[in-house]
Amino acid sequence: MRHTKRRPTKKLLKRALPRNEIGLELVKRVIVRSNHELLYALERLLGSYRVLLAGTPIGDAEEILWQVNATLQNAERATVIALSLLGTSREEIHHECY
C-alpha cells in the first residue's frame, strides 16, 4: 500500500496566515537579506579602501566592485518587492524618511 504525502491546499495556507501577514513576513525577510548583503559588501569595500590608504594595492578590486554592483541590484529588487507587497511607492517612503 502506497502512502503519498499530500501538499497543503491553498485554502489551508490562507487559514494559517492572513494574506497581509504573509506579505509582511516576506517583506521582512527580503529586507533583512538585502541589508545583510549590503553590510557585507560595504564592509568589504571599506576594508579595501583602508588597504589603499595604506598604500597597498588591492588584488581583488574587480571582485569587490562586482559584489558591490550585484548587491546594489539585489537591493533594488528587494525594494521593488517590498514596495509592491506594502502597496506603497518610493515617493511615499522617501517623503517619510526625509
Domain ranges of the chain: 22-97
CA distances from 46 to 33, 37, 54, 58 (A): 20, 14, 13, 12
- Closest by CA position to 42, among listed 71, 83, 6, 12: 71
Q: Which of 13-17, 27-31, 68-72 has the lowest mean pLDDT?
A: 13-17
Mean pLDDT of 26-34: 83
Q: Is the pLDDT of residue 77 over 60?
A: yes
Conformational region of residue 89, where left means phi above 0, alpha means psi within -120 to 50, and beta covers everything else: beta
pLDDT at site 2: 52
Query: What pLDDT is stored for residue 34 in this prediction?
Result: 86
Answer whether residue 96 shows pLDDT above 80.
no
**How far apart are alpha carbons 69 and 42 in whole angstroms?**
11
Crossing angle of the two packed helices 90-97 and 61-86, in degrees rounded to 10: 100
Q: Tell me how far apart the alpha carbons of residues 87 and 42 are, in angstroms, rounded to a whole number.
A: 29
Global pTM value: 0.61
Mean pLDDT of 63-90: 84
